[in-house]
Amino acid sequence: MVLRDGSELDTVPVQKIRTQIRANTTPRHVPAKVIAVPELPRTVSGKITELAVRDVIHGRPVKNTSALANPDALEHFRCLPQLLA
């Protein structure tokens, strides 16, 4: 979900996101935390790179950053206070 300018992520959109994921996948795919970020890292072909985000969050080196269209987007995920709690 992309928020409109000036919008904030509150309990209503978070519940909507969780409900949509649960309806289209399995309960194990429903995230424990939903966090607003400025952008998601994508490959040159436009696919979201979940594995790169996971590596950054866990302090592991990201493999093949040259395949990313916007590698700077990964920096937002380093030491996010919402993920440390």
Does any domain span residue 1? no
Question: What are 34-63's pLDDT values in tens digits?
Answer: 988 889 999 999 999 999 999 999 999 998
State how many domains the chain has: 1
50 within a domain of the structure (yes/no): yes
Domain range enclosing 49: 32-84
25 in a domain, yes or no?
A: no
pLDDT higher than threshold 70 for residue 85? no
Residue 14 covered by a domain:
no
Residue 7 lies in a domain: no
| Distance of alpha carbon 52 from alpha carbon 54, whole angstroms | 5
- Whether 36 maps to a domain, the answer reads yes
Examine residue 18 and state whether it is found in any structural domain, yes or no: no
**Per-residue model confidence (pLDDT) at position 20:** 93
Distance CA 41, CA 48 (A): 6
pTM of this structure: 0.74
